[in-house]
Amino acid sequence: MEEYIVSARKYRPMTFDSVVGQKALTTTLKNAVKSGKLAHAYLFCGPRGVGKTTCARIFAKAINCMNPTQDGEACGECESCKAFAEQRSYNIFELDAASNNSVEHIKSLMEQTRIPPQVGKYKVFIIDEVHMLSSAAFNAFLKTLEEPPAHVIFILATTEKHKILPTILSRCQIYDFERMTVENTISHLKNVAQKEGITYEEEALAIIAEKADGGMRDALSIFDQAASFCQGNITYAKVIEDLNELDADNYFRIVDLALENKVSDIMVLLNSIIEKGFDGGNLINGLASHVRNVLMAKDESTLKLLDASQQQVQKYADQARRCPTKFLYQTLKLTNQCDLSYRQSSNKRLLVELTLIQVAQLTQPEDASDGAGRSPKRLKSLFKHLTMTRNTAARQVVAPGNDNSIPSHRHQPTATATVPAGEDAALAAAMGAATAHITQSGTATAAATATSTATTAAPKRPAMKLSSLGITFQSLQQKQQQEQKQEAEITNKEENEEFTQDFLELQWLSMCNRMPQKMISLASRMKNMRPRIAEFPAIEIIVDNQMLLDQVETIKGRIRATMAKALHNGSITLTLRLAKAEEISKKLTKKEVFDELMKQKEVRSFVEAMGLELT
């Protein structure tokens, strides 16, 4: 039985022209061989499986060839080339720095540089994974690398260039190898399949190329695995099964179903995917990559950013034409949020399901019912037929007897509003209330009027004065003041329980925590205030600045009513005043707080005994 050799070794390139995906780099090396302008040290860096060591061997063979071709390739027939092919060449040395990284190994290698080559022109030392050398080994290697003998050439290869000392990098010509594109990988796999007599589907080779993630060696290893599983006929379905990869058609189906708002179908599809053993987090990541590719396919200029087969690119372009751009943006945002929360989630499947439900509702009509699972919309405005602006309101409010003047505080003008035909008096009254704009600086200084525009073109209707409905700005102002007084009324005047300073501070903090969401900013600043019992049951609150004092003053009545109920004392009084300069305490930094604590003997002893320090 013939000995089996894996494809990664059997089809390893032997010439520069057979190297895949590194055209610019191999051309540079061939030109260097033709011109004879060779550096004494080269550094080949890049990801795994892209041809670094292979190119180093080809280069070492070419520069020692006695009869190189006009293109800079080795002839393959001279004694040097034959010795290299039969692995008996004394001019080429390879060292694996991952397992030979000590100073002794480097010193042994440096001693061999003193002996000139017996056949050929140069002694070539290939050091693979050079970043694994220890610091002492790098230092021992540095002097020889700086001034090597004329017959010595070093070729260093690494996957992590950032770990190499800058003094080493500055003495080398650096060549950065690129990742293999999916297109190049598929082309090479086709050649290997033809030579091996293996039939294939191009979509199956595309899956292998994507799985390899830019590494040709990985692609050939996966190809061998798939060929063994498929028994010489590599099909898309069998490759998906063998590699346990999620079929890309699932992502296309999810997007299509989401565009049609078919939540139940997406849930059934998700369940079938999970039952096959696929992780929900991988599904979300795959969906995000898929939607990104669809977004790139919407523009001809970004199609080149898709690292996929031509058939797959066409499928992306077809779906891109059906997907709104806003839908793709929002889907990417939702999948990214799910990915960030997935690891911390205690119910991962529910998180994935909620994300897919939200995606499926992105294109749902705005007036769809909440029963479909869509998040509730904000309540539509009662005045949806009105177009209200300050400018139009200001232009329509005039003083009596003068159409161009602004009303003074001595007159209370009546506002006019155009009311659509068929609206009842209640709606008109609500409209009038919505247009009232009252300032709290002592008197009303301005008024506003709402103008309405019918949705369909209709003839102008006669104007109606709000005064005819019994509504004026003065009555609205009085009503508002009455509501504020009623809201601030104390309902437990008969209670007269005593309370302590600690209980007062506790109830103050509790009140701040219960304040409505729209007042959350004011509540957070009020938490920093410290109410105190001035003379029971009088409560004094000191405020740091005038702006905050004005804000708290507007809700003083509500605060007093709330605290009276919480303290079970309806006789309390509330006084607000601006803090004096000496009453404003300085906020200490962490270091200052730590220093204050260290003044206490017990704390200092504990810190010193435990060896603690402030971070």
For the segment 393-417, the average pLDDT, to the nearest whole number, is: 42
Confidence of residue 451 (pLDDT cuts 50, 70, 90): very low
Position 377 scores a pLDDT of 47
pLDDT of residue 21 exceeding 60: yes
| Share of residues in the chain with pLDDT > 90 (%) | 13
Position 469 scores a pLDDT of 53
Position 357 scores a pLDDT of 94
Fold of 182-243: Helicase, Ruva Protein; domain 3 (1.10.8)
Q: Do domains 182-243 and 248-364 have the same CATH topology?
A: no
User: Cα–Cα distance between 442 and 437 in angstroms, integer?
Assistant: 13
Q: Which residue has the higher pLDDT, 415 or 359?
A: 359
Residue at 542: amino acid letter: I
What is the SS3 assignment for 180? coil
C-alpha dist (Å) from residue 8 to 59, 158, 216, 338, 445 = 19, 19, 8, 39, 86
Q: Which residue has the higher pLDDT, 460 or 216?
A: 216
- Cβ atoms of 320 and 195 within 8 Å: the answer is no
Neighbours of 227 (CB within 10 A): 20
User: Cα–Cα distance between 299 and 305 in angstroms, integer?
Assistant: 11
User: Cα–Cα distance between 394 and 371 in angstroms, integer?
Assistant: 43
Kindly report which listed range (16-25, 87-96, 513-522, 587-596) carries the lowest average pLDDT score.
587-596
pLDDT of residue 456 exceeding 70: no
CB burial of 359-369 (b: ≥16 within 10 Å; e: otherwise) equals bbbbeeeeeee
Tokens in use for 277? 């053993």
CB-based burial of residue 477 (10 Å sphere; 0-12 exposed, 13-18 middle, 19+ buried)?
Answer: middle
Tokens in use for 62? 């070419």
User: Cα–Cα distance between 254 and 359 in angstroms, integer?
Assistant: 9
pLDDT tens for 149-193 read 888 999 999 998 888 888 888 889 999 998 888 888 888 999 999
- Cβ atoms of 122 and 92 within 8 Å: the answer is no
Position 483 scores a pLDDT of 53
Q: Which residue has the higher pLDDT, 140 or 375?
A: 140
Tokens in use for 125? 């030392």
Arithmetic mean of pLDDT over the chain: 78
User: Cα–Cα distance between 388 and 378 in angstroms, integer?
Assistant: 19
pLDDT of residue 268 exceeding 90: yes
pLDDT tens for 459-474 read 445 555 545 555 565 6
Domain 248-364, what architecture?
Up-down Bundle (1.20)
CA-closest candidate to residue 572, choices 518, 519, 499, 509: 499
The helix-helix angle for 182-196 and 216-230 (nearest 10°) equals 50
Q: Which residue has the higher pLDDT, 581 or 70?
A: 70
User: Cα–Cα distance between 427 and 477 in angstroms, integer?
Assistant: 19
pLDDT of residue 533 exceeding 60: yes
Q: Which residues pair with 153 in a beta bridge?
A: 124
Strand 464-465 relative to strand 451-452, pairing: unpaired
The answer to whether domain 501-583 has CATH 3.40.605.10 is no
Confidence of residue 403 (pLDDT cuts 50, 70, 90): very low
Confidence of residue 287 (pLDDT cuts 50, 70, 90): very high
Mean pLDDT comparison of 215-224, 240-249, 368-377, 513-522, highest-scoring range: 215-224
- Cβ atoms of 149 and 168 within 8 Å: the answer is no
Mean pLDDT comparison of 345-359, 491-505, 545-559, highest-scoring range: 345-359
For the segment 26-54, the average pLDDT, to the nearest whole number, is: 89
pLDDT of residue 378 exceeding 70: no
Domain ranges across the chain:
7-176, 182-243, 248-364, 501-583, 587-615
User: Cα–Cα distance between 363 and 592 in angstroms, integer?
Assistant: 55
Q: Which residues contact 208 (CB under 8 A, 6 or more apart)?
A: 185, 189, 219, 222, 223, 226, 239, 243
The answer to whether domain 7-176 has CATH 3.40.50.300 is yes
